Chain A
Amino acid sequence: MTTIQATVTTPKIVLDTQNNVYSFEGESYPEDVNAFFDPIMNPLKTHLKNQNDANIQFDFFLTYFNSASTKVFFNLFLTLDKISEFNNVVVNWKHHEEDDTAEEFGQDFKEEIDNIQFNFITI
């Protein structure tokens, strides 16, 4: 299991590849989004694409993220959508009850993916 601690501009990331449980929690607006996320997302996507008949869970609780981070997460969702053909993928999108901005981001993601169970959870 890999845990990357949060910084003021990057979320806490937990990657439990053995159990296929992943979480992203906090804020995401690093100066160079690709420099931060590429080393995390590239191996993660490779791992996910190798899964077959697995239960895969992603928990997101992102209180704030910039537009470049949005694209990073969107690309991850596209991968999840692809692998959902062969796996059971669940996304839990958490947001503060009054934070309609985070909720709207979740809705945008949800609309673009077909085969994933996408749960909205208010905190």
Chain B
Amino acid sequence: MTLNDFRTLKEMIESKNVIFCYNGYLSQEIIVAVSSMIKGKLSADETKIGISQKVLYMFVEQAQNITRYSPDQIQHSEESSMSYGSVAIGTEGNQFYIMCSNRIEKAKVPALQEKLEAIAAMNQDELKALYKEKMRSEPDEGSKGASIGLIEMARKSSEPIEFDFLENDEIFDCFTLKVVI
């Protein structure tokens, strides 16, 4: 990367009103540190608590999804691992956007895609019903979380969640998700 390349990258990021943008290995420690930064920044901007709590929620869910599910994971000690992915938080008009991206095994794409398409098409009442059904049931197969994070993000998002899966190589696709508050 040349100085110019880096400047172009920085200018691109800044033009999107980015508060935070990260591309690299994410760990729980980094999630904690960034959460603290988000709280401090939004509090300084006098963002309403209800809004800043939602931004924080979206960020932690997305970042913990990367640490749990990104296939690009390094176990650097017995208890700690870190996973490669991208997260961005910024503003568009009077809304916040929170986005994430990571690679995903092609074999896992149809199940996630189906789940997300169903969630994206639901209204608030349907989302709430599904959320409650999931709360009472066991986690989905292969899910390390409560399998309700995606539903909860859709409930809190002020617009339908956006996502896509793009070809990465023969084994992986690139998964990207955006929510807006």
Contacts and interface: CB of A to CB of B under 8 A. Distances in A.
A70 B54 contact: no
A74 B54 contact: no
Interface stretch (A15-23, A40-48, A52-60, A93-101): A93-101
Contacts of B61: 66-67
Interface string A55-83: 00000000110111011001000100000
A102 interface: yes
B32 interface: yes
Interface residues on chain A, size class: 20 to 34
A9 interface: yes
Interface of A (DSSP majority class): helix
B148 A98 contact: no
Interface residues of B, number: 27
B23 interface: no
A1 interface: no
A96 B39 CA distance: 15
Contacts of A100: 50
Nearest to A71: B146
A29 interface: yes
B57 to A, nearest CB: 7
Contact of B146 (A67, A101, A111): A67
B132 A99 contact: no
B49 interface: yes
A99 B50 CA distance: 4
Contact of A66 (B50, B57, B131, B135): B57
Interface of B: 28, 31-32, 35-36, 48-50, 53-54, 56-57, 60-61, 64, 67, 128, 131-132, 135-136, 145-146, 148-149, 152, 156
5 contacts: A31-B28, A64-B60, A67-B146, A68-B145, A108-B132
Given A66-B61, A66-B145, A68-B149, 19 more contacts: A8-B32, A8-B36, A9-B28, A29-B35, A29-B60, A31-B64, A33-B145, A64-B56, A66-B149, A67-B145, A67-B146, A67-B148, A71-B146, A71-B148, A74-B136, A96-B49, A98-B49, A99-B53, A112-B135
7 tightest A-B contacts by CB?
A67-B149, A71-B146, A101-B53, A100-B50, A31-B28, A98-B49, A68-B146
